[in-house]
Structure 1
Amino acid sequence: MLDPRLHTAWLVNAASGAAAATVRAPMARPSSWRGVHDRLVVTDLEVVTVTHDTAILTWSTHRRDRAGRLRPAAADTEVLLAPADSSAAPATRYLDGRRTAHHYAEVRGLEPGRRYRFRARSDGETAVPGRTWVTRRPGTPEATGVFRTAPPPPGRLLRTIALANDLHWGEDRSGLIVAGLPPGLRHDDGLYPQVMTEALLHDIRRPERAADHLVVAGDLTDCGSAEQSEGIRARLDAWGSAGVDHFVCRGNHDIGRGEHDHWGAVFQPFGQLTCHELGGLRLIGLDTTRRRGAGGTIDADQLARLRATLAADPDRPTLVFGHHPATRYAALSNPGGPGFVLDHASTSALQACYRTTPGIFLHHSGHTHRNRRTRPDSGDVEYLEVAAVKEYPGGYALLRLYEHGYTVHFHRIAAAAALAWTSKTRKQYFGLHPDHALGSLPDRNHRAPHDFSGVTPLR
């Protein structure tokens, strides 16, 4: 089901494109055409990540072909910075002379708790945000040219957990809502979920990320077939050990289309709750899927086990993950409507459990393919939806636990092939996908207090 507002916006976009097409007729090129044709277009600027000492910016560069269409064009990558409270002109803090059309700049060594003026550019041309409200609305870093770093929580860094979802291993076309509509996008070799997953697993092991664990909240596969389930399990096991390094739960795409539960045979049976202890930290995975349909539920047996598990140790720091978002706000704000997320009875029962369990600090979900820090219906637990790995914005969230709080930072996968696919899929759904999927800067980057003093550091 489509949100009527999205449907209206799509019609406006389509009508605008049609109107533009009606006035584009073959004619002699004006004398100024060569200047327009050769001009580098530097756009799609996004301040994706801002940590206590790092900012990551991405953008793309294009030139128009002879038909006036924008095509990727290689250029250099530069970011200039200055403290916002200084009158000094911004100075170059990042410069990469390698030529690319898909730009990724990670500026390190910033001061915590400071505002910075910035300018991103390629071949001397300033990058501007794309034609999306999420980066053009008043107050965004892309609109103001200013971002602010935030100090980390007090205490030592204890653990770093990568939160990911919606890998869709085996999918061959991206951007479909119903069969064949809207027109989907294909990768050059048809293996974009594998490209993105490989890049993800490499990215979170980089020294700058140093993830200790990976949590995947569902839709590991496209259709739950034996080949897809075995393929993604083998790749995850090559990265680390199940139940120690990586943890998963089922998504609706993992159900499968036949009678045999291939995904369950490879990972865990249908409707099963999982619980793991990691040096004082508890990870609980929920199976929120139905045997039919995209929406979610939690059966009585699983809820009973959850209640018993939480009641046995209510103060233990606990991260819960399940595929379907679990708040009323998520039900009303996603384009699929309430029937697309966890049903109301399960949501109410889940949140009742959380209200008597002070150790629970975060509930991680996927399914909506968007970054969204959802308002809880009650209590203090954070409900976090993380965007898909397999398409724009193409990334994962890093959850860092300190002794007295945690941070969440969304990271775009940095590999060149991943950036190229991410740039291509931002055009999905008639160009409206960024407004749905990227989320605001606070959705992607925030911190919260919590007592993790009982969690042992891994290193």
Structure 2
Amino acid sequence: MAAASPLVANAAFSGGVAVASTRRDDVSPANLELATLTEDRAIITWYTGYTGSDDGLGRMEPAPADGAVYWGTRPDRLNRVASGLSHHTPYHYVELTGLEPGRTYYYQARSNGKPVPPTQFTLISGNAVGTSDYGLDGSTGPFSFTAPQPPPGRYLFSIALCNDLHMGETQAGLVGGQPQYIGIKQVPGLPPYPEVMLESLVRDAGALEADYLLAAGDISSEAVPVDLSKAGQLLTKFGKYRSDYFVTRGNHDRAHIGDPYAHCRVGQWQGNDCFHDQFFPGDEPTYFTRDLQGLRVIGIDTYDKPGGGGDAGALSTDQLAWFRSELAKDRDQPTLVFGHHPLVVQDSAFPISPSSSLDAGQAQIILQDYARTPGLFMHYAGHTHRNKRTISPLAPRVTLQEVAAGKEYPGGFSLLRLYTGGYALNFYKTRSDLARQWSERSRQEIMGYWPQFALGSSVSDRNIVGARDLSGLRPPGTTTITMTTVTVASNLSAGRHRDTGGADGARLRR
């Protein structure tokens, strides 16, 4: 698609660079985005670079600059000022606090004395900077958003949702062997980007006081034991495995053939299954049910099949029968399902293929079961590396939520907050210095088109509020957490250790 649109491609590839100037003291801002919007805060990000320069990836070379957001309740009176995590940086991250639910606000971000233009959508209709189109007819704002109402009822607990960590990957943005899609590597001398992103993700989730963490597949790049082990080490900084955090398999975590895998168990379908050894030792299956404070969490293995990873996901016959049986046990219990492949994929700027989702026949069966399960309110998935909220007519009460990859732009996780009367889901970009640097560098994937797919075409693709009766759930600390699988049932300690030290680990409010 990109190759067939040279005029659009050139505009996107320039990354907003004003080609008239190359002076090193001339700095321009770009890529304004409203990443997070809750009932009481908003997080706004952008980038600054040397005007007219090119770093070889089609964007301006990074240039440190000042940055602030001017905001208020009237477009002609932006009387409040918020500064960012860093006072002089190319990678700007500014949080507005003290918002009133239901109120409309206007804002303009500025760096080096210049207003910041928004990330442009040329392939799709979308809005990266607000909940209304106010200000989009120009390029400098002010732009507008309305703070949502909080979910009804009393706050209970929260869960961080992340996926596509790709530990061991060294080059991002390689798609289907397409020669025009040049992979992007980490800056020489810096730590591997999957480690940078996961370290920040775990730290940020802890700082936001997430009680649990779900990692929905593609934990590794190619299931090499050392990479799976490293992912486990970093995730354990959040808490205890299968008590505080849980994982499912993605297609990259499938069993492989070759010397690096020779010491792992023989895979059920092919090769040697190192993922199974790392996260589901013994005779445990790679799918499970957990009860978290009354919330039934079902983790499914969406690559429980033979294959090379580039085809549609699927559950084995045994797993599908087990899954349907689990759903039928207590249809009214509040339930969250998570797994790597989405059930359906819609509204993409890029071609959609069968490999984008679960097997279509299985997806239809599952959605029909979801329609008969009143307590199920969300199916969360990764794989597509984008933020997207979908509602299927087959199960209209269930939110089908895709969450962007943890390992690349926009680089982060979603925080699911549960209340007695509903839930809120908010996407957070990871915020360490190195994470923000890599996230901005990797936005140039797919010839610079990646943001039009990965960010989410609207603020509501990554920030939602839903009303549901969750009054049967309990806050953490009131009971122990129980664990059940097909073959195992036991209680696990709920103790945990959180590494939230340092400036990047400073406590954030929900």
Same fold (TM over 0.5): yes
In the other structure, the counterpart of 2:421 is 404
In the alignment, the residues of structure 1 paired with residue 94 and residue 389 of structure 2 have an alpha-carbon distance, to the nearest angstrom, of 25
Retained in 1: the 8 A contact 2:127–2:459? no
In the alignment, the residues of structure 2 paired with residue 328 and residue 287 of structure 1 have an alpha-carbon distance, to the nearest angstrom, of 18
Change in Cα spacing, 1:147 to 1:341, as seen in structure 2 (3 Å) is same
Q: Give the CA deviation at 1:8.
A: 2.6
Which of 132, 137, 144 does residue 121 from structure 2 map onto? 132
> Which amino acid is the alignment partner of residue 162 of structure 1?
A
Number of aligned residues:
438
> Unaligned regions of 5+ residues in structure 2, if any?
258-270, 478-510
Per-residue CA deviation, residues 223-252 of structure 1 (Å, 9 max, x unaligned), is: 011111122122222421122210110000
Q: Give the CA deviation at 1:136.
A: 6.8
Retained in 2: the 8 A contact 1:90–1:117? no
SS in 2 for 1:329: coil
Q: Give the CA deviation at 1:88.
A: 3.2
Retained in 1: the 8 A contact 2:53–2:60? no
In the other structure, the counterpart of 1:224 is 223
Counting aligned pairs with the same residue, the percent is 36
In the other structure, the counterpart of 1:29 is none
> Which amino acid is the alignment partner of residue 388 of structure 1?
A
TM-score, with structure 1 as normaliser: 0.89
Summarize the alignment of residues 88-237 of structure 1 with structure 2, pairs less than 5 Å apart.
88-94=77-83, 98-133=87-122, 134-135=126-127, 139-140=132-133, 143=136, 145-179=143-177, 181=179, 182-188=181-187, 189=190, 191-206=192-207, 209-237=208-236
Retained in 2: the 8 A contact 1:135–1:142? no
SS in 2 for 1:368: coil
Per-residue CA deviation, residues 135-171 of structure 1 (Å, 9 max, x unaligned), is: 4799447736111101101111111111100000010
Retained in 1: the 8 A contact 2:349–2:453? no
In the alignment, the residues of structure 2 paired with residue 257 and residue 222 of structure 1 have an alpha-carbon distance, to the nearest angstrom, of 12
SS in 2 for 1:284: strand
Per-residue CA deviation, residues 88-110 of structure 1 (Å, 9 max, x unaligned), is: 34331446672101000011111
Which of 406, 418, 435 does residue 418 from structure 1 map onto? 435
In the other structure, the counterpart of 2:486 is none
Summarize the alignment of residues 243-392 of structure 1 with structure 2, pairs less than 5 Å apart.
243-258=242-257, 259-268=271-280, 272-289=286-303, 290-292=305-307, 293-294=309-310, 295-327=312-344, 329=346, 335-379=351-395, 380-392=397-409
Per-residue CA deviation, residues 174-228 of structure 1 (Å, 9 max, x unaligned), is: 110134742211112361001100010011111xx21111101100000011111
- What is the alpha-carbon root mean square deviation over aligned residues? 2.6
Retained in 1: the 8 A contact 2:165–2:406? yes
Q: Give the CA deviation at 1:419.
A: 0.5
In the other structure, the counterpart of 2:464 is 446
In the alignment, the residues of structure 2 paired with residue 96 and residue 254 of structure 1 have an alpha-carbon distance, to the nearest angstrom, of 35
TM-score, with structure 2 as normaliser: 0.80
In the alignment, the residues of structure 2 paired with residue 152 and residue 251 of structure 1 have an alpha-carbon distance, to the nearest angstrom, of 33
Retained in 1: the 8 A contact 2:34–2:128? no
Q: Give the CA deviation at 1:286.
A: 0.6
Q: Which range moves more in the overlay, 288-297 or 195-204?
A: 288-297
> Unaligned regions of 5+ residues in structure 1, if any?
25-31
Retained in 1: the 8 A contact 2:182–2:447? no
In the alignment, the residues of structure 2 paired with residue 141 and residue 223 of structure 1 have an alpha-carbon distance, to the nearest angstrom, of 45
SS in 2 for 1:205: helix
Kindly indicate whether residue 46 of structure 2 is the aligned counterpart of residue 46 of structure 1.
Answer: no
> Which amino acid is the alignment partner of residue 159 of structure 2?
I
In the alignment, the residues of structure 2 paired with residue 281 and residue 214 of structure 1 have an alpha-carbon distance, to the nearest angstrom, of 14
Retained in 2: the 8 A contact 1:271–1:287? no
Retained in 2: the 8 A contact 1:329–1:375? no
Retained in 2: the 8 A contact 1:167–1:388? yes
Q: Give the CA deviation at 1:131.
A: 3.8
Change in Cα spacing, 1:328 to 1:175, as seen in structure 2 (3 Å) is closer
Kindly indicate whether residue 72 of structure 2 is the aligned counterpart of residue 74 of structure 1.
Answer: no
In the other structure, the counterpart of 2:480 is none
SS in 2 for 1:384: strand
Q: Which has the higher helix share?
A: 1
Retained in 1: the 8 A contact 2:382–2:403? yes
Q: Which range moves more in the overlay, 127-136 or 240-249?
A: 127-136
In the alignment, the residues of structure 2 paired with residue 272 and residue 103 of structure 1 have an alpha-carbon distance, to the nearest angstrom, of 40
> Which amino acid is the alignment partner of residue 158 of structure 1?
L
In the alignment, the residues of structure 2 paired with residue 307 and residue 387 of structure 1 have an alpha-carbon distance, to the nearest angstrom, of 27
In the alignment, the residues of structure 2 paired with residue 229 and residue 136 of structure 1 have an alpha-carbon distance, to the nearest angstrom, of 34
